[in-house]
Structure 1
Amino acid sequence: MKQFMDDRSFLLSTQTGEELYHEAAEDLPIIDYHCHISPREIFEDRRFENIAEAWLGGDHYKWRLMRACGVDERLITGDAPARDKFQAWAETLERSIGNPVFEWSHLELKRYFGYEGVLSGKTAQEVWDLTAAKLAEADFTCREIVRQSGVRLICTTDDPADSLEWHKKLAADPSFDVQVLPAMRPDAALRIERTSAFTAYLERLGGLVGEPITSFAALKRAISARYDEAHALGCRASDHALDYVMYVPASDEEIEGIFARARAGQAPTEREALAYKTAFMQFAAGEYVRLGWAMQLHFGCRRDNNSAMLAKLGPDTGYDAVANYTPADQLAAFLNAIHERTGLPKTILYSLNPADAIVIDTVMGCFQEGPVAGKMQNGSAWWFNDHEVGMRDQLTTLANEGVLGTFIGMLTDSRSFLSYPRHEYFRRVLCGLVGEWVEAGKFPDDRDLLHRLVRDISYNNAVRYFGFDLDTVTA
């Protein structure tokens, strides 16, 4: 029997896998090219009062598990004392065998707090006291957590209407040697169906750029201006959250009419909304070509399914699910139209539905082109899929249908400063899978080749793909 989460063999079933991880992947730095942590909290070097604040404040992964265990909402998102919330979480965790959050939580306890035990209802006080002592240390701040994790670069998630003031302050701060770059997510400009919120957003964005946004053309000028400012701060990627990748083409005149009616408070029809979104995404893709950015498209999520809890808590509180509608014809037509119009930017496709993996891999194979290796990417296993099975399936399908060696690897997609062990988790899964293929005789046992492959997927490919100002790792 193996020891629980043994450092040598956790997620590594073969000797080759163990050697690959410990010799080639374990000590690599981290690029977190998509996350939701706050640049303000990095600049201000936030400290956490206790482990409940660090772990449970905004983590809907944990909230969903607690609800499934019958925990009262007051102990999840309510006003219960932090110690009581942590107790409820510990009692939940001990029942969560097989869930990646169980493994992530213990990796975090090991790596940041030196805890080698198992968190449960019985050990909750022990862990509470241990983490409290560590969190009270002078050097246990957000910046030090990032440094201790081996992070070289972080891309946050920022709206074009954000002032980017915290990025400007970080760029001017020589005391922090980790790059913190903006990544543009213009979702609010895309959601024309949310009429009142959409018009309010246009007012906010127009005030920032100094031009009233009374037409689609004016919106495009405003977005371009904000993208230019973000680019000057090091932005090299965008991100879009879509229900699915749509393609409903329309003339410029029709789009201006749809925009004008929405600007006046008239809700668009479903077709009109899709036509507008198609036009916006075509424009945005052209901007990414102009700037040399990567375009990330996240789709396949059915959001806010519990209307009562949405009204009570708002979005992103644990009431989203996997969607099962990804029209391959529209995805392919969308990419083809952009390819013909402006050329495709570097594009990363993420679907929350794992059944879409082979669709993504085969459609994107129709648009690969030099000089960028892996210009079209099937993004890392995401959200409900970033566990061992999901990662192995994504890696295997990509290897079967494309070129695994050009994959740009893992991201946290997290709001937590303690989530960087997810990169360790991914690297262990990667090395475990490759080790199995080697020992099964499916790939040669050429250690120079294997080490280069693992280092590229874990770190180097992302440096090259996004064009970050970082050195690659060769040994």
Structure 2
Amino acid sequence: MISTNSQVNFLSEDFLLQNSFAKTLYHDYAKNLPIIDYHNHLSPSEVNSNRQFSNMSQIWLAGDHYKWRAMRTLGISEKYITGNATDSEKFKKWAQTVPYTMRNPLYHWTHLELKRYFGIEEILNESNAAEVYLHCNELLQKPEYATQGLLGQMKVEVICSTDDPIDSLHDHVNFSRKKTGLSMYPAFRPDKAYAIENPDAYLSYLEKLGEAAGISIQNYEDLLAALENRIGYFHERGCRLSDHGLEQLYFFEKDEFNLQDLFELIRFKKKLEPKEIQYFKFKTLQELCKMYHSKGWVQQFHLGALRNTNTRKLSELGPDTGFDSIGDFDQAKALAGFLNSLDSKDQLAKTVLYNLNPRDNEVFATMIGNFNDGSTKGKIQFGSGWWYLDQKDGMEAQMNVLSNMGLISCFIGMLTDSRSFLSFPRHEYFRRILCNLFGKDVENGELPWDEKWLGKIITDICYHNAKNYFDFNSKNITV
């Protein structure tokens, strides 16, 4: 085991906990709760097969564009990031990068993950990279370090993957038959079903969607029928939530275009005008949301990312490789109109809204109150700090705004939104930050010293609210 470092104040048992009440809330109420991770990008196949990773680069660096961006910023060649360098060379370059990530959340996450999974308390750097790499690789060969074991170490109770409508979900079904103490459910992510900006790519996708649904998609009604078919297919296999990644939601008060005419233009590979594209997305999303409501699902909207900004790197490396940023899209009016178009007919499902631009925190926090109707506790949620905002300042800002303009006591808490099986200490990070916020208010005399009641609120936010909000039940899988 790697020896303990002398920096006893870093990542101590009271990390981020600045007073005695915060420490009590964390250690006695939050620390040992199970994890419900209702949105991530883990591979269902790797969970079901209980994959054993051969080394740290494969499990820790591959696919992690947070780390990739930091390495590029430091001037490290792409060869050592997504290129053809060996896994050990890539790990060494990441270790070289880590000391330069101070005050970036990567510094905390890196050392939390090394400590919680591998018992390493040293600060990772270039000089100890080889020793750390060898130590971790040896542990990764043990049965408890396969994917299911890693999730078990963090007391993960539920994970929800992110799945395209055309996915077979065979891994979810097969895994549901195993007795592991972990539940894995799909989440319906239909972004490609209305991504009509590129007609060639869209038509190719429609062929796959039609094949999956057993429907030849020749018109717009066929498209909706295929999507409804797949929603039914997902529902039978335990799915109870959807997710959408969009710059913004769209809303049109009047029917401005004929959807079948737009569909025909796409079939003839004609590029649509921006307003036509927005109208198509609005109407299709509206129909999808009605379907979700009829099934009792939760719908999630991740809004505000400006994606694939570097066209040179997009052509070299493809999407999701670290060249996306916060966007500055107008959100409020169309978001209100879209939600109202569903609520006015009582077809608005439980909804989680994630904001990427911190300037819009107050917009989102007040928007959820417009559509909470008393039917369900926290029916409309302001989701946890997302992507560039899932760090200490971003999470504190989201929770402070939610506290000021809504009820943080109804909040469904944290998720990883990660592709890494080593990312689950992010829940610990969130829980420590949450407990410290409440602890500071108690110390300042802004909240009463009521350990039992505040402890209940903490456990609700960390676990019980999410457990009650989502209709997760292994009996839901009927095939």
Moved more, 180-189 or 326-335: 326-335
- Unaligned segments of structure 1, at least 5 residues: 471-475
Which residue matches 1:242? Answer: 246
Aligned residue type for 2:359: A
Which residue matches 1:291? Answer: 295
Say if 1:249 and 1:279, in contact at 8 Å, map to a contact too: no
Q: Is 1:202 aligned to residue 206 of structure 2?
A: yes
Structure-1-length-normalised TM-score: 0.96
Separation in 1, partners of 2:341, 2:150: 44
Deviation at 1:139, TM superposition (A): 2.8
1:119-141 Cα offsets, whole Å, 9 max, x none, are: 01111112112101111223320
Separation in 1, partners of 2:135, 2:254: 60
Say if 1:100 and 1:387, in contact at 8 Å, map to a contact too: yes
Q: 11, 29, 33: which is aligned to 1:28?
A: 33
Deviation at 1:2, TM superposition (A): 8.0
Which residue matches 1:473? Answer: none
Which residue matches 2:148? Answer: 143
Deviation at 1:253, TM superposition (A): 6.8
Aligned residue type for 1:297: F
Say if 1:326 and 1:356, in contact at 8 Å, map to a contact too: no
Aligned ranges 1:8-19 → 2 under 5 Å: 8-19=13-24
Aligned residue type for 1:134: L
Say if 1:10 and 1:428, in contact at 8 Å, map to a contact too: yes
Q: 58, 81, 90: which is aligned to 1:76?
A: 81
Which residue matches 2:477? Answer: none
Structure-2-length-normalised TM-score: 0.96
Aligned ranges 1:178-327 → 2 under 5 Å: 178-249=182-253, 251=255, 254-327=258-331
Separation in 2, partners of 1:97, 1:380: 23
Separation in 2, partners of 1:221, 1:436: 53
Q: Is 1:131 aligned to residue 136 of structure 2?
A: yes
Separation in 2, partners of 1:126, 1:239: 41
Aligned residue type for 1:341: K
Deviation at 1:18, TM superposition (A): 0.7
1:230-275 Cα offsets, whole Å, 9 max, x none, are: 1111111100001111113553971121112112211111011000
1:124-166 Cα offsets, whole Å, 9 max, x none, are: 1121121011112233201110111100111000011111111
Q: 165, 169, 176: which is aligned to 1:164?
A: 169
Aligned residue type for 1:463: K
Aligned residue type for 1:356: D
Aligned residue type for 2:8: Q
Structure 1 residue matching 2:445: 3-state secondary structure: coil
Say if 2:29 and 2:455, in contact at 8 Å, map to a contact too: yes
The size of the alignment, in residue pairs, is 469
Say if 1:171 and 1:233, in contact at 8 Å, map to a contact too: no
Aligned residue type for 1:192: I
Separation in 2, partners of 1:116, 1:208: 49
Separation in 1, partners of 2:461, 2:106: 23
Which residue matches 1:441? Answer: 445
- Unaligned segments of structure 2, at least 5 residues: 1-5, 475-479
Aligned residue type for 2:383: G
Say if 2:44 and 2:172, in contact at 8 Å, map to a contact too: yes
Q: Is 1:122 aligned to residue 123 of structure 2?
A: no
Structure 1 residue matching 2:299: 3-state secondary structure: strand
Moved more, 68-77 or 255-264: 255-264
Deviation at 1:8, TM superposition (A): 2.3
1:374-393 Cα offsets, whole Å, 9 max, x none, are: 11111000110111110000
Which residue matches 2:53? Answer: 48
Separation in 2, partners of 1:34, 1:396: 22
> Structure 1 stretches (4+) deviating beyond 6 angstroms?
none
RMSD of aligned alpha carbons:
1.4
Moved more, 424-433 or 220-229: 220-229
Which residue matches 2:109? Answer: 104
Q: Identity percentage over the alignment? A: 41
Which residue matches 1:413? Answer: 417
1:326-370 Cα offsets, whole Å, 9 max, x none, are: 331111111111111342111111111111110011122111112
Structure 2 residue matching 1:341: 3-state secondary structure: coil
Separation in 2, partners of 1:141, 1:2: 31
